[in-house]
Amino acid sequence: MKFDVAIIGSGLAGLSVALHLAQSRKVAVISKRSLLDGASNWAQGGIAAVLDSRDSAEQHISDTLIAGAGLCDEGATRYIVEHGRAAIDWLIQQGVPFTRDPTAELGYHLTREGGHSQRRIIHAADATGHAVQVTLERQARSHPNITILENHIAIDVIKSDRVTPGIGNPRCVGVYVQDIDSGKVITLAADQTVLATGGAGKVYLYTTNPDTATGDGIAMAWRAGCRVANMEFIQFHPTCLYHPYAKSFLISEAVRGEGGVLKLPAQAGAAAGKRFMPEHDERGELAPRDVVARAIDFEMKKRGLDYVDLDISHQSPEFLKEHFPTIYARCMEFGIDITRQPIPVVPAAHYTCGGVVTDMHGRTDLPGLYAVGETAYTGLHGANRLASNSLLECLVLGRAAAQDIERQPTPKQMSLPAWDESRVTDADEEVVIAHNWDELRRSMWNYVGIVRTTKRLERAQHRLRLLKEEIYEYYSHFRITPDLLELRNLVDVASLIVDSALSRRESRGLHFSQDYPDTLPKALPTVLTPAGKQA
């Protein structure tokens, strides 16, 4: 199959690139499952942008830099913030049904989240990601220049030096993709390839991410020789619903933004009902996510708790049903009436702040290969992502990447090799994959969590080294399956996270080490370079 542009991933970043390119390019969108199965569809809070005269780009930039603990790239932050209004205008033009407020300047309701000095989060009730994704999906499906390949999983990008050994300055010329339903591997040629596969939350045992978040783009780019940066900064969302059947359901930060308070649960005995955040930070529940997550983790470990309570029952039932209809309905399914009782919550892996190193056009180290969204490292998020900046980054960099692709000359056509399965057989024991998957995620949760030590990180590094050998041996001998491909990507990404964490000899933002509790005077990103590449 041949396309002008192959986009791996169907979230907001991927669909943004596709729709901006579709007027002039033949585009393929490759989705592991359906178009709505990515993390963008799950995003509750909204999109941060300067949309009110009482706000300013300088305030938004300042809030981002403060949350990022000195590690944000100021140039990237300014570029993304200053293009925020145009990104929102584009979504409104596409027909996204943001929540309206006739008293507001723009006519849309703006909410506030932790770390923001102003109300600047435009949203569609508490299901913004879904509203945006449904709107863009409809446009993508109906566009004649966009081909959608659902239930297809990318294996690896194809480099020109694989096609013609010894070629100078290799570039990306396509991607190998497996049709999950048939098992057939397709060689997909593309002039430009875009990685928009989201983050890597499934590397942890507990996560707010969908099952598709297995770090595929980051792992593929690393194997192709691209640098990655700041992988130690994994954001744990402070408030994931604690219930045995509530898989990966997060309670939006907007609940705290609208007055929700964190309290100790009945399990805490005499201290039950006590509000604890003011003891940890003067900003209380509106402190940045890393502070809130560590505070909850501290209270749970100190008191042996399974969870803490998030209480917003002091607000009127009408207010809660209007502002948080999805959260209200989901909690009611589990017998939790948020208008009358607190919500049990725990921290869970939520967002990958690092990723594939790119410039402001989404370009990676490999010509012809781009990365956008959570897969990429632009420098915007620094050591801790400011709430609701992620969808903004998807939109702004998605458009920038599309514009850069349109400026690229058409490369010389190459005949790509077919996928070779001649030396592999069907797997003898699938249980090996399931066991390794479980061991990897438990090791990451136990040793590379919210609070870290050098000893725990070294334990994780040792276990991952053994797991990687086992997984790669399995990959070499047996016919591929989606589970095996995801496991291979997860072990690569897990190793990048641990190696990055071990190299940071300080505590900063989301990375907190008991062995290095102080913050160094100079903030530097952690940049990892593949073996054999120039640093």
Tell me the two tokens of residue 253. 């930060």
Tracing tokens 């073996």 back to the chain, one arrives at: 531
Q: Return the residue matching tokens 């030396």.
A: 423
Tokens representing 205 are 């045992």
Q: Please give the Cα distance from 197 to 193 (Å, whole number).
A: 12
Active site residue 141: no
**Bridge partners, 310 (sequence order):** 262, 343
Residues in Cβ contact with 260 at an 8 Å cutoff, skipping those fewer than 6 apart:
285, 310, 311, 312
**Which residue in this structure is represented by tokens 């990375």?**
511
What token pair was written down for 45?
């809070």
Stretch (H or E) spanning 416: none
Phi, then psi, of 37 in degrees rounded to 5: -95, 5
Of the candidates 25, 256, 289, 504, the residue annotated as catalytic is 289
Of 107, 40, 112, nearest to 351 by C-alpha is: 40
CA–CA separation, 26 vs 398, rounded Å? 17
Q: Residue 430: how many CB atoms within 10 A of its CB?
A: 13
SS (H, E, C) 32-83: CCCCCCCHHHHCCCCEECCCCCCCCHHHHHHHHHHHCCCCCCHHHHHHHHHC
* DSSP state, residue 417: P
Instruction: Tell me if 439 sits within 8 A of 465, measured CB to CB.
Output: no
Handedness of CA 482, 483, 484, 486 (dihedral sign): positive
CB 502 within 8 A of CB 458: yes
Alpha carbon 193 to its chain's center:
19
Task: Identify the sign of the CA torsion 496, 502, 503, 508.
Answer: positive
List alpha helices for 265-366, DSSP H: 277-280, 289-303, 317-323, 325-333
Which residues are known catalytic residues? 289
